[in-house]
Chain A
Amino acid sequence: MSSLSNLPPRRLGRAAAPLGWLGPAIALIGFAVLWPVYEMFRISFQHYSPDGFLLGSAGFRNYTKLFQDPNFGPIMLRSLLWVGAVVGLTMLVSLGVAQLFNQRFPGRRVARWALIAPWAASVMMTAIIFRWMLDPNTGALNLLLRDLGLLSKLGTSQADWLGRPDAAFAWMIAVAVFVSVPFSTYTILAGLQTVPAEVYEAAEIDGASPSRTYLAVTLPLLRPAILVATLINVMNVFNSFPIIWEMTRGGPGYETNTSTVYMFNLKQNFIGQSASMSVVNFAVIVAMVLVFLRVSNWKKEVA
């Protein structure tokens, strides 16, 4: 095989022709993916004033400051909890809902459409509506609890849902699950519809119980769909910003920040540190995806 430079001009042109079609895509990737990544790394080693004036190189100081920040450890742990809880609960709920929607029942079409709503609505809007519903004085939830006579038992502090970091975080996980379920359900539903009816017949003839059929036939055949949905959810949820920002702004203090929200909080005054936080986020997400692909034996299953 001869290298490109040895080719006569006409053959070189022909060999390069595919570049014409790939060019726009390559340019787009270069401009929208590679260039920002390069900038992110570059900025993370520089010292900026809060107003964005370059004050010189920072060496590794942005990173050492970030790692010494007392908020950093808890925020990273919280981010992992956030991803684990949201993705785990989403997948469990979606498996159930998809199974339900795979049955024939009157009004199934309408029900399937309705499921799209939380997905189609703007996430920010959904988060704001939940914030209003959880308002301690005028929110729908507390009005309902008051009418049921349960509010006084809780006490004002317990019923301040977004005021306490633990309760706020639990509610935000619930909202994140709510907006992630439709996509995962549809992915699993699509997977369910590819399972041929014959394998269920075979299972029935072999006398398998329904639970046995589900565990030994349905779940293994759903594996590719579950893998795709989980992988996309992991990336989406880790990068999720609007739910937390709109419901608590990461407060009180930094006690409901995930690393994505913290990156934004840092940006207001510490541009270099914010860039180093996003480098850390970038590394985390690449690592999570690689580990996930490795564990799930991605190539054999899906590609």
Chain B
Amino acid sequence: MKQRLAAAAVLGLSATLALTACGSSSKPSSSSGGSTSGAVAIKLVAADYGTGPANSSQTYWQHVADAFHQANPNITVQVQTIDWNDLSSKVQTMIQNKQYPDILEGLTYAQYVQDGIAYKASDVLDAAALSNINPIFAKAGEVNGTEYGIPWTTSSRAMFYNKKLFTRAGISSPPTTWDQLKADAKAVAQKTGKTGFGLPLGSEEAQAESLLWFLGNGGGLTDASGKYAINSAQNIATYQYLQGLAKSGATEPDPATKNRTDLWQQFAQGDIGMINGSPALIPIIQKAGVLQSSGYGVVAVPGKTGPLTSTVGVADYVVALDKGDHRAAVKSFLDFAYSDQNQLAFDNEYDLLPATTSATNSMSGNPQFAGFVKNLGTATLYPSSQADWSTVLTAIQKQIGTAITGDPRNVLDQIQQSATAGQ
């Protein structure tokens, strides 16, 4: 009798164990209050633009969230910032597990439109604020003519060079064409023993570096009609040139495994002659304290026959995700966040450029940024409104660097194939 009782108890216990365990894979948690109680909690996940704990974006966003909470006591904004290197995989996991945030900043947005979980920009941002967004970047936030991605911060690219290394290598003026660039980079490498040209083709931001070079040869990621054209003849020729550049010893070894963050640090330490960068490289140079502001120069990125007339412009987008009943709270927070004051505070902290026209205008007087601001008007952007851009982006980041050691045509063909497989 006793035995049987024990058996039943154990069986029952194990059954509950199994059941509770199964139950844990549930839908998005509903712990965030909702409209019934009046108090709402919304969640913001953003990229961390900081270089350490001192200037972490967590601090910036928490500051904005606190100020907002003070003005709107019944809405709480939970802030989580994630390091760039882990951002896309962590957010991907959140989405795959249906545990996604209300507001997402820093990533691509078009796949969420396809998934049917993204709010239209006009649903979550005031019409006046919306029309204040830089039109080129706002256009790139559109899918089929409707804006979903709201640019938060922007930047454009230029080439930085180390004047001291140039003098030591006997170079009088920075290069404007590929041939000059190769000769200068080789001169720096041979005469100073430093890296001539920093070529970050590792997975962190291979898309930006590649696009800059493609533009220099009349290529790009898409053709005139907006279809992916990654294996175009111009792009293949571009990588053949880059292969020669790397083989000549003018770049760091094995560019396919080197990331932007590391190479920017090395440039700031005075170990690299030339590198493509955004205004965000400036604070890194200042923090390292090796190069004075007169020790480096910023010029247009050289192209095959002359400097780029249209450089790469990058925007990081905000997208609001539909979790049911948070739209009003999300809208009032975004209306608050897109003020000039918040925009300028962010861009001053991280040396990036604003996404709104009014904030941009107030920044164009700053000589350090004026050139970058001017480039925004003619910039070439990523094809971020393509639904499969995030997949193509991963393929580019992981594989395109191998075109330096392998056959450029094969590598670009392979990426093109994976890009068009979904179309």
Q: A-side interface residues toward B, CB under 8 Å?
A: 13-14, 16-17, 19-21, 23-24, 26-27, 30-31, 49-53, 70, 136-137, 156-157, 159-160, 162-164, 248-249, 251-255, 265, 268-269, 271
The reply to whether A265 and B14 contact each other, CB–CB distance below 8 Å, is no
Bound complex: CA of A24 vs CA of B16, how far in Å?
11
Q: How far is the CB of B206 from chain A (nearest CB, A)?
A: 10
The reply to whether B398 and A163 contact each other, CB–CB distance below 8 Å, is no
Residue pairs across A and B with Cβ atoms less than 8 A apart, 25 shown, are: A13-B4, A17-B4, A20-B8, A20-B9, A24-B10, A27-B15, A27-B17, A27-B18, A30-B18, A31-B17, A50-B391, A51-B111, A137-B271, A160-B257, A163-B258, A251-B203, A251-B256, A251-B257, A252-B405, A253-B402, A253-B411, A254-B399, A268-B88, A268-B92, A269-B391
The reply to whether A52 and B203 contact each other, CB–CB distance below 8 Å, is no
The reply to whether B3 and A17 contact each other, CB–CB distance below 8 Å, is yes
The reply to whether A21 and B96 contact each other, CB–CB distance below 8 Å, is no
The reply to whether A271 and B96 contact each other, CB–CB distance below 8 Å, is yes
Residues of A within 8 A of B95 (CB): 51-52
Bound complex: CA of A31 vs CA of B20, how far in Å?
11
Bound complex: CA of A50 vs CA of B14, how far in Å?
36
Say whether B78 faces chain A, with CB atoms less than 8 Å apart. Answer: no
The reply to whether B111 and A50 contact each other, CB–CB distance below 8 Å, is yes
The reply to whether A23 and B398 contact each other, CB–CB distance below 8 Å, is no
Bound complex: CA of A218 vs CA of B251, how far in Å?
55
Say whether B306 faces chain A, with CB atoms less than 8 Å apart. Answer: no
Bound complex: CA of A160 vs CA of B112, how far in Å?
40
Bound complex: CA of A163 vs CA of B411, how far in Å?
18
Bound complex: CA of A31 vs CA of B405, how far in Å?
47
The reply to whether B257 and A162 contact each other, CB–CB distance below 8 Å, is yes
Identify A70's interface contact among B112, B114, B414, CB under 8 A: B414
Bound complex: CA of A156 vs CA of B350, how far in Å?
33
Identify A24's interface contact among B13, B256, B414, CB under 8 A: B13
Residues of A within 8 A of B394 (CB): 268-269
The reply to whether B257 and A163 contact each other, CB–CB distance below 8 Å, is yes
Bound complex: CA of A207 vs CA of B53, how far in Å?
71
Q: How far is the CB of A197 from chain B (nearest CB, A)?
A: 48
Say whether B401 faces chain A, with CB atoms less than 8 Å apart. Answer: yes
Residues of A within 8 A of B89 (CB): 268
Cβ proximity bits B175-192 to A, threshold 8 Å, 1 near / 0 not: 000000000000000000
Identify B6's interface contact among A20, A70, A137, A269, CB under 8 A: A20
The reply to whether A251 and B111 contact each other, CB–CB distance below 8 Å, is no
Bound complex: CA of A110 vs CA of B283, how far in Å?
50
* With A20-B11, A24-B13, A268-B92 as contacts: A160 and B253 at CB distance below 8 Å: yes
The reply to whether A23 and B96 contact each other, CB–CB distance below 8 Å, is no
A30, closest chain B residue (CB):
B18
Cβ proximity bits B311-347 to A, threshold 8 Å, 1 near / 0 not: 0000000000000000000000000000000000000
The reply to whether A20 and B96 contact each other, CB–CB distance below 8 Å, is no
Chain A residues touching B, majority SS = loop
The reply to whether B399 and A23 contact each other, CB–CB distance below 8 Å, is no
The reply to whether A248 and B111 contact each other, CB–CB distance below 8 Å, is no
Cβ proximity bits B98-136 to A, threshold 8 Å, 1 near / 0 not: 100000000000011011000000000000000000000
Bound complex: CA of A159 vs CA of B256, how far in Å?
15
Chain B residues touching A, majority SS = helix
4 smallest beta-carbon distances between A and B, as pairs: A163-B254, A20-B7, A52-B96, A252-B256
The reply to whether A27 and B398 contact each other, CB–CB distance below 8 Å, is no
Bound complex: CA of A228 vs CA of B391, how far in Å?
43
Identify B11's interface contact among A23, A52, A70, CB under 8 A: A23
Bound complex: CA of A248 vs CA of B256, how far in Å?
11
Residues of A within 8 A of B254 (CB): 157, 160, 163-164, 252
Bound complex: CA of A13 vs CA of B3, how far in Å?
9
Say whether B21 faces chain A, with CB atoms less than 8 Å apart. Answer: yes
Cβ proximity bits B55-95 to A, threshold 8 Å, 1 near / 0 not: 00000000000000000000000000000000011001001
The reply to whether A251 and B253 contact each other, CB–CB distance below 8 Å, is no
Residues of B within 8 A of A268 (CB): 88-89, 92, 394
Bound complex: CA of A258 vs CA of B103, how far in Å?
36
The CB with the most chain A CB atoms within 10 A, among B254, B256, B406, B411, is that of B254
B89, closest chain A residue (CB):
A268
The CB with the most chain A CB atoms within 10 A, among B4, B14, B252, B390, is that of B14
Identify B114's interface contact among A49, A156, A254, CB under 8 A: A49
Identify A137's interface contact among B3, B22, B266, CB under 8 A: B266
Residues of B within 8 A of A51 (CB): 92, 95-96, 111-112, 115
Residues of A within 8 A of B271 (CB): 137
Identify A265's interface contact among B115, B258, B398, CB under 8 A: B398
Residues of A within 8 A of B202 (CB): 251-252
The reply to whether B6 and A163 contact each other, CB–CB distance below 8 Å, is no
The reply to whether B14 and A27 contact each other, CB–CB distance below 8 Å, is yes
* With A20-B11, A162-B257, A163-B253 as contacts: A252 and B112 at CB distance below 8 Å: no
Q: How far is the CB of B110 from chain A (nearest CB, A)?
A: 11
* With A163-B258, A253-B399 as contacts: A23 and B111 at CB distance below 8 Å: no
Bound complex: CA of A70 vs CA of B258, how far in Å?
24
Residues of A within 8 A of B3 (CB): 14, 17, 20
Identify A31's interface contact among B7, B18, B88, B411, CB under 8 A: B18
Identify B401's interface contact among A53, A137, A156, A253, CB under 8 A: A253
Residues of A within 8 A of B249 (CB): 156
Q: How far is the CB of A246 from chain B (nearest CB, A)?
A: 12
The CB with the most chain B CB atoms within 10 A, among A24, A162, A164, A253, is that of A253
Say whether B51 faces chain A, with CB atoms less than 8 Å apart. Answer: no
Q: How far is the CB of B398 from chain A (nearest CB, A)?
A: 6
The reply to whether A249 and B402 contact each other, CB–CB distance below 8 Å, is no
Bound complex: CA of A163 vs CA of B259, how far in Å?
11
Residues of B within 8 A of A26 (CB): 14
Say whether B97 faces chain A, with CB atoms less than 8 Å apart. Answer: yes
The reply to whether B21 and A31 contact each other, CB–CB distance below 8 Å, is yes
Bound complex: CA of A241 vs CA of B378, how far in Å?
45
Identify A252's interface contact among B6, B88, B391, B401, CB under 8 A: B401
Identify B115's interface contact among A53, A136, A156, A269, CB under 8 A: A53
B11, closest chain A residue (CB):
A23
Contact residues of B between 398 and 423, Cβ < 8 Å to A:
398-399, 401-402, 405-406, 411, 414
